[in-house]
Amino acid sequence: MTVWQWCEMTISEQDYVIGRQNGRTSPNGRVLPSETASSATPSPNVPPAAPAFRTDGRTRRILLFFGSAILHFITLDVILGRIPVIGDWIRMSRPRRLRWWSRRFRVLALGMGGVMIKLGQFLSARVDVLPIEITDELKGLQDEVPPEPTGRIITVLQAELGDYHASFAAVEEEPLAAASLGQAHRAWLWPKDGQSGLGDAVVVKVQRPNIQQIVRTDLSALRVVARWIHRYPPIHKRADMPALMEEFAKTLWDELDYEMEADNAERFAVMYADSPQIYIPAVYRQYSTKRVITLENVEGIKITDIAGIQAAGIDTGEVAECLLDTYFRQIFYEGFFHADPHPGNLFVLPRLDLPWPPPAVNGDEPPKAGRPFWLIFVDFGMVGRVPEIMKAQLRKSLIAVMQRDSQALTEAYADLGFFLAGADLDRITEAQDAVLKRIWGRSWLDLAQPDPEEVQEFSREFKDLLFEFPFQVPQDFIYLGRALGMIAGLVSLLDENINPWYYFDKYGQELLQDEEMNIFSLETAWDVIRPYLSTPAQVQRLLNLAESGRLRVQSDRETLHYYDRIERRIGQIGWSILGAAGILSATLLYLNRKKNPPK
């Protein structure tokens, strides 16, 4: 049963499916919708297509586009924008021009594929730092990636696994999903002994032909562009563009290593092995290589399909809370998070192993609640790691927001590297305090759509800070910031009335309790208690030795000589005191007799 068939069913039909308990058992022991042989469309014996790759024109097209864009903005916004009358017109036209250039980039990315699409997807998710004109135009790149011809994909599959018919009983010719670096096809394994029809349903993700050469060529051109942008002083002060480019390149190469992706998927599977809501597809290592990865086929409702989720009886608010809780644990406890939570990598699926609605107890009506669900993660090529030092500062910043402590928040941001050297931290603290007072208690939707008049008022109050703009982009924060921005967008879509301050307080209180527990940890408690636990036994041993006359005091020779010297000194002091006392007594006696002579 596909996700579309499930969504088209009525609630009663879905209940009937669940009531029959005809779900399949997944490799990790969880019940999921069954796959039938009738849905299989085996791929034909496509003759291997000779992959041809030519770098002609790729570098030139990239440099020409970015060179033209940079020249455009330098001429208009930097030079002509300073002229009084013309500058006003240029500033008014900026949104339209940004949208035009973003549309040109999207056309270029779709035509070139590879790294350009990946870069567009990355930029489209930075709603926290980029203008809405750019993110709106580029967000279509998440779903508009053109598929690779099946023959070329089969060529790669054949090169990696040999005769792929020996591994898969059927492979669908139509791709299940097309990504910038690879392409996924639904497939079925051969049935196990004694079974009829097709075996387990899987998803085979295969790298696009020549993608490594494409990545190498495009990254080389983008490094040149990064050096161009880095020459602009305002950017040079706030971001190390070549370093950010290298971080982007490293993550891209990691995504091309499907063995590393399999490792990531298995780590997430261990993390959520006992979770009642998070589902991680199983990995078939025997059918995976560096360029091919085979995963359990787990189909669900796309997380942005609000109507489909609600039609399945699932509360979208509960999905939003589950998503927030999941990323809170990944970032603040595991230090290992799924760094690409775009809508194509997150699905929701009703749980088939739990009855719904729950049965009545003692004749009472069951409590009203949404249907239990699985939140499914797929595509583990892009992951992020949070070092312990960074994790500590993130904890500090969250606690500071919860306590509305602007000073602590500024210190945490400074330790994370968000401010330029010499930044006025006191003034920044004032600005953050003003922001917290203005936004505290507002809904997520209000935070995403601030009042323009309020923004202008804040800009006038802190125009000196905005003019100096003493902020920079920390290199280690690039993918974490992107993931958090995407999660914020998904959560506001799932529940636009969600109260973010409730979660700030909830997570902040939990972290605060952990900090207090760390002060008096188990190890510290043992160090304090251990001497007292051992003292009664030591005292009993000393008493037994004393009663038996076997108690001895051991000392070395040097210590004994030292004690002898002390004893002689004490004796000398004693005799001196006695002598002085005798002289004083005799003197007093003599004076008394002289004053009162005997009669």
Q: Residue ranges per domain, the chain? A: 307-357+370-519, 522-552, 559-599
Do 273 and 254 form a contact (C-beta atoms < 8 A)?
Answer: no
- Distance (Å, rounded) from C-alpha 326 to C-alpha 320? 10
Cα(120)–Cα(358) distance, integer angstroms: 45
Amino acid at 32: L
Helix or strand (DSSP H, E) at 377: strand 373-377
3-state helix, strand, coil in the chain (%, to 5): 60, 10, 30
Q: HSE, CB side, 13 Å, CA atoms: give it for residue 353.
A: 10
How far apart are alpha carbons 70 and 225 in whole angstroms?
9
Angle (CA) 265-270-274 rounded to 5° is 125
Say how far apart CA 439 and CA 432 lie, in whole Å: 11
- Interhelix angle 388-403/500-519, rounded to 10 degrees, is 120
125 and 482 Cβ atoms separated by less than 8 Å: yes
**Residue type at 427?**
R
Report yes or no: 472 and 417 within 8 Å, Cβ to Cβ: yes
The one-digit pLDDT tens for each residue of the chain (599 residues) are 433 343 334 333 343 333 333 455 666 666 565 544 434 455 545 444 444 555 668 999 999 999 999 999 999 988 898 888 888 899 899 999 999 999 999 999 999 988 999 898 888 877 666 788 888 888 878 777 889 999 999 999 999 999 989 999 999 999 998 888 999 999 999 998 777 778 899 999 999 999 999 999 999 999 999 999 999 888 888 788 888 899 889 989 999 999 999 999 999 999 999 999 999 999 999 999 999 999 999 989 999 999 999 999 999 999 999 999 999 999 999 999 999 998 889 999 999 888 887 776 666 665 567 899 999 999 999 999 999 889 999 999 999 998 899 999 999 999 988 888 888 999 999 999 998 888 888 777 677 667 778 888 888 888 888 788 888 877 678 888 889 888 988 998 999 888 888 898 899 999 888 876 665 444 444 444 444 444 455 545 545 555 555 545 554 455 445 445 545 554 554 545 545 555 555 555 555 555 555 55
For residue 337, the cross-strand partners are 384
Q: How far apart are CA 257 and CA 181, in angstroms?
A: 11
Give CA–CA dist 39/34, Å, rounded: 11
The secondary structure of 423-440 as a DSSP string is --HHHHHHHHHHHHHHHT
Q: Which of 255, 391, 252 is nearest to 332 (CA)?
A: 391
3-state secondary structure 563-588: HHHHHHHHHHHHHHHHHHHHHHHHHH
Q: At what angle do helices 388-403 and 406-416 cross, to 10 degrees?
A: 160
Q: Is the whole model's pTM more than 0.85, yes or no?
A: no
| Contact between 53 and 214 (Cβ < 8 Å) | yes
φ and ψ at residue 459, rounded to 5 degrees: -65, -40
> Could you give the CA distance from residue 262 to residue 274 in angstroms, rounded to a whole number?
20
* SS3 call for 39: helix
Residue 223 to residues 56, 243, 477, 497: CA-CA distances in angstroms?
18, 10, 20, 42
**Residue 419: phi, psi to the nearest 5?**
-115, 150
Residue with tokens 């330029």: 420
DSSP state of 274: T
Q: What are phi and psi of 293, to 5 degrees?
A: -135, 135
| Number of alpha carbons in the 13 Å side-chain half-sphere of residue 349 | 29
